[in-house]
Amino acid sequence: MTIALPTRWRSALPHLTTPMPPDVTPATAAAGTGVGVNLPMELVRQSVLEREYWDIPKEILAAYRQFRPTPLWRATGFERAIGSRVPVYMKYEGGNISGSHKLNTALAQAYYYQQAGVKELVTGTGAGQWGTAMAAACALFGLRCRVFMVDSSLRRKPYRGVLMRMLGAEIHSSPSGLTGVADRRGEGIGNSLALAIGEAVEYASTHDGVAFCIGSGETYSILHQSVIGIEAQDQLAALDATVDMVVGAVGAGSNFGGIALPFHAGARATGTQGPTLVAAESATAPKLTRGVYAYDKTDATGTGPLEAMYTIGSDYPIPDAHSAGLRFHGAAKIISAMRHTGDIAATAVTQQEALDAGRLLTRNECVLPAPESGHALAAAAKLATSGADGMRAQNGVLVCVSGHGYLDLAAYEQLLNDELGDEAPSEQALMSAVSGLTPVGQDASSPPRGSLLSAGGPLGGPR
């Protein structure tokens, strides 16, 4: 099956049921003490303009051609293993130097920052796929790269750090001791992607020629990932295949948005009924299934704009687990807005279920998925068989395998040794973590009025 490399990204912004709520400037930034994040103007435009198609610059296309289009196939072995009632199609994003879909936006961001005159990019990473992708993109576009990686992930996956160093990046375990935001945090911070991001934000703000970049939750990064869904639509059409469920794992939302939102845009543009879009999240960070729709911080500095998101609270100490890159407290604002209007469904998956699904794929398709992808595979398996959360596929399931698991073998070793445990947040812990947040729809510039939970949460879904 031969398909063309997409030459345009496709935005879902023109096809939202309701506009996204605007960001809110926190009081610290309004008083002149906030940390600024400077974006190239093209990334700003991609975040706010309701333009459906965006031409991909030739320099980025040249880099994409090294690994795109990516494969899509019907996973008949996986179907037999799970007893599937319907076809299950895999879209695989692990065949590049980063081992994941993250390279799609890393290349675009490095190009735009390089064009803007930036000399060094600094970022935070959870499981390391994003940090690796950014290191690779910086190497291709002649930029220095610095990465703050979640401490527990770096200890479990030391070779992620080696690969980033091979690509020329400088790596810091987070909390690093290099920033004030790390010094101010309490116990449990070694598992916090919000802290790693916060350290990167602070570092960039205090060094000349350095810019902060992020790869998952921003609207422009999800736009860049649309190449995944655009290709998948063409590949399914070439197979004369239809699906009524599209599944991706959600940390903040980039690979899910990449595989799913082009289907939403296509259905809205043609006035047809599209497939159900199912976000599979970690049960240790269940923002879409147990969180609240409120204004929250995107990183531990708390000085950037507050965004409307489904969140379990940016200060919630997320349990140490193989949720890996899904270990983030909130969902991207475009994903959250679509969840709120009912255009996106969600289900939570435990790490045991995720790694069991990864083992099944390995044995029956000879593809070793990342633990993040295992969450999507576990959800897809349920949807294709007995169903999950009131949903059950009737025609077929498309699932994004967002990356490979060759640097995650320690997680699979724990699975094989029967050493895994799951620690989902308690209701009391979630209530405490979100109690000071302002619900979307309430004036975010004024103090919260009582408990957020009394205002309608945890929402656990759209309203």
Least confident residue range of 112-126, 140-154, 419-433: 419-433
pTM of the model: 0.92
Q: What is the pLDDT of residue 153?
A: 82
Query: What's the CA gap between 111 and 109, in Å, rounded?
Result: 5
φ, ψ for residue 352, nearest 5 deg: -65, -45
Q: Which amino acid is at 103?
A: L
Of 94, 93, 96, the C-alpha closest to 67 is 96
In the prediction, which pLDDT does 316 show?
86
Give me the mean pLDDT over the 253-259 stretch: 97
Query: What ranges do the domains of the chain cover?
Result: 47-60+101-219, 68-98+225-434
The confidence score (pLDDT) of residue 390 equals 94
Q: Which CATH architecture has domain 68-98+225-434?
A: 3-Layer(aba) Sandwich (3.40)
Residue 305 is predicted with a pLDDT of 87
Query: Is the pLDDT at 446 greater than 70, yes or no?
Result: no
Give the N- to C-terminal CA distance of the chain in Å, as an integer.
42
Give the least confident one: 27-36, 300-309, 406-415.
27-36
Identify the weakest region by mean pLDDT among 57-71, 86-100, 277-291, 311-325.
Answer: 311-325
- CATH code for residues 47-60+101-219: 3.40.50.1100
pLDDT of residue 33: 43
Fold equal for 47-60+101-219 and 68-98+225-434: yes
Residues 208-232: what's their mean pLDDT? 95
Query: How high is the pLDDT of residue 321?
Result: 64
pLDDT-based confidence at residue 34 (cuts at 50, 70, 90): very low
Distances in whole angstroms, Cα of residue 315 to Cα of each of 186, 209, 256, 298, 359: 10, 30, 24, 10, 33
Radius of gyration of the CA atoms of the chain, in A: 20
Confidence of residue 1 (pLDDT cuts 50, 70, 90): low
Chain-centre distance of CA 46, in angstroms?
A: 18
3-state secondary structure 304-366: CCEEEEEECCCCCCCCCCCCHHHCCCECCHHHHHHHHCCCCEEEEECHHHHHHHHHHHHHHHC
Alpha-carbon span 372 to 105, nearest angstrom: 18
**For the residues 30-41, what does the mean pLDDT come to?**
61
pLDDT on residue 384: 98
Structure tokens at 252: 């903040």
Close Cβ partners of 21 (under 8 Å, ≥ 6 residues apart): 308, 333, 337, 440
